[in-house]
Amino acid sequence: MTPAELKLPPIGEPLLEVNGLAKRYGTKLAVNDVSLSIPRGSIYGFLGPNGAGKTTTIRCLMDIILPDAGTMTLGGLPLERRLRDRIGYLPEERGLYRKMTCQDQLAYLAQLKEVPRREALLRAEQWLERLGLSEYVKRKVDNLSKGMQQKLQVAATFIFEPDLVILDEVFSGLDPLNIELMRDLILEEKAKGTTILFSTHMLAEAERLCDAVCLIEGGVKILDGPLDSVRAAFPFRVVRVAYRDGKEPPADLPGVLDRRLDERTWRLELAPDQDPQALLAPLTAAGELSFFSANRPTLSEIFLTAVRRRRADVSGEGSPS
Which DSSP state fits 250? P
Binding characters for another protein, 156-185, by CB under 8 A (x = yes): x-----------------------------
Q: How far is CA 285 from CA 254, 270, 295, in A?
A: 14, 19, 22
Find the shortest distance in angstroms from Cβ 97 to another protein. 6
Tell me the sheet residues that pair with 196: 43, 165
Among 87, 155, 182, 196, the residue binding another protein under the rule CB under 8 A is 87
For the chain, where are the alpha helices, taking DSSP H only? 54-61, 81-84, 102-111, 117-130, 146-158, 176-191, 203-209, 227-233, 277-286, 299-318
Coil, strand or helix at 233: helix
| Residue 23 found at the interface with another protein (CB under 8 A) | no
Residue pair 190/221 in contact (Cβ under 8 Å)? The answer is no
Find the shortest distance in angstroms from Cβ 25 to another protein. 11
Q: Which stretch binds another protein (CB under 8 A): 30-38, 97-105, 235-243, 310-318?
A: 97-105
Q: Which is nearer to another protein, 13 or 142 (CB)?
A: 142
| Residue 210 found at the interface with another protein (CB under 8 A) | no
Q: Which stretch binds another protein (CB under 8 A): 20-28, 110-118, 222-230, 254-262?
A: 110-118
Q: Which is nearer to another protein, 59 or 151 (CB)?
A: 59
Q: Which is nearer to another protein, 84 or 123 (CB)?
A: 84
Query: What amino acid occupies position 117?
Result: R
| Residue 189 found at the interface with another protein (CB under 8 A) | no
Give the footprint of another protein on residues 38-67 (CB under 8 A): 59, 62-65
* Chain centroid, CA 80 distance in Å: 24
| Residue 128 found at the interface with another protein (CB under 8 A) | no
Question: At residue 253, what are phi and psi to the nearest 5 degrees?
Answer: -70, 145
Find the shortest distance in angstroms from Cβ 306 to another protein. 30
Q: Which stretch binds another protein (CB under 8 A): 5-13, 93-101, 275-283, 291-299?
A: 93-101
Query: What amino acid occupies position 158?
Result: F
Cα–Cα distance, 126 to 128 (Å, whole number): 5
| Residue 84 found at the interface with another protein (CB under 8 A) | yes
Report the sign of the C-alpha dihedral through residues 78, 82, 86, 89, in that order.
positive
Burial (Cβ within 10 Å: 0-12, 13-18, ≥19) of residue 126? middle
Find the shortest distance in angstroms from Cβ 1 to another protein. 13
Q: Which stretch binds another protein (CB under 8 A): 31-39, 88-96, 131-139, 278-286?
A: 88-96
| Residue 1 found at the interface with another protein (CB under 8 A) | no
| Residue 90 found at the interface with another protein (CB under 8 A) | yes
Task: State the DSSP string of 290-312.
Answer: EEEEEEPPPHHHHHHHHHHHHHH
**Contacts with another protein, residue ranges (CB under 8 A):** 59, 62-65, 81, 84-85, 87-91, 93-99, 108-109, 111-113, 116-117, 153, 156
